[in-house]
Structure 1
């Protein structure tokens, strides 16, 4: 839960510190500008709030790792994916997006800090403990932090400890370790298809290269 708070706080601070002009820059999510990514984060924060107040009275069906499913790469035809850029545009001035994310995102952070980690909650037709749910989101926040700064070289990177935790989660999902020569950021970016491996990196990946990219849904 501490890692959830650390990764989420770092991401909120990174968004708050992003100059308004940079909201028109591309993000690391294919087809999305920074403003679209920030709008998606508003929806993610709402999902956290909804899930934390949706208790379940059955045993967990997934944990922090099996919560993530491997899916096909997005085609751009998903209605929600198409809705995000329109919603982001509707905000107009980036300060309103920043304000909304800070407002809802801060509430999600407070709710996470107050939640019982052993409580079971329901989301996406699955049941898991609050602790596992928040642990799963460390991977989500860290990847989106990398997406935010993909084309913003002066922006702050995710905290080292959350990068390491996100890498460990992705390795468990992959069922294999990334080469020790890969930085945590490179392992996450290459592992999820956010950038292709170089020839040398592909050689280092060995058999794991055939499993990539890991598209999480």
Structure 2
């Protein structure tokens, strides 16, 4: 959170909770009129607005941090909303879903989705570059797609499936292609200067890529 004194958590139990890091207590709980299962969570730069994505209804709920009041419900996705992040330079919210799309929302204007980026596979997570001028999205086929959020254009793609599987060992009779099946990234994070991206998922490896060169630099 913006004040560095609070922690937010989302749960399948249908609640969003705010925790006081000094007093170690849950000081506010955010709920919905009907029970929902929450799988993603973010707050705007000011910490005044909280958004959470659902597993079951495919909606995004928006609350006021100060009052705890439900402000809006964003509808449009056709699958679980597993990724949410506000732009670091504006009030635009980006969401990723298993419906194979990333959507941008003007939360404060209540205009609904203002842009949709279509993918060929389920979108698992996303991240804004620190300057707000690029969005990275991880998909179920092991790709990381990089979008220009202003022009709505796909800039380039990194194939990460074989990297996350760690390649092939000498003792492994299966090919690297076979062992990479079902490998994908579920977490993305840019470096502070935006030149590298860290990606982790369903393996023991964290991969670091040079975005400009679109190549893997190291395993962690």
More helix by share: 1
Higher relative contact order (CA 8 A, sep 6+): 1
TM range (shorter): under 0.3
Greater CA radius of gyration, 1 or 2? 2
More strand by share: 2
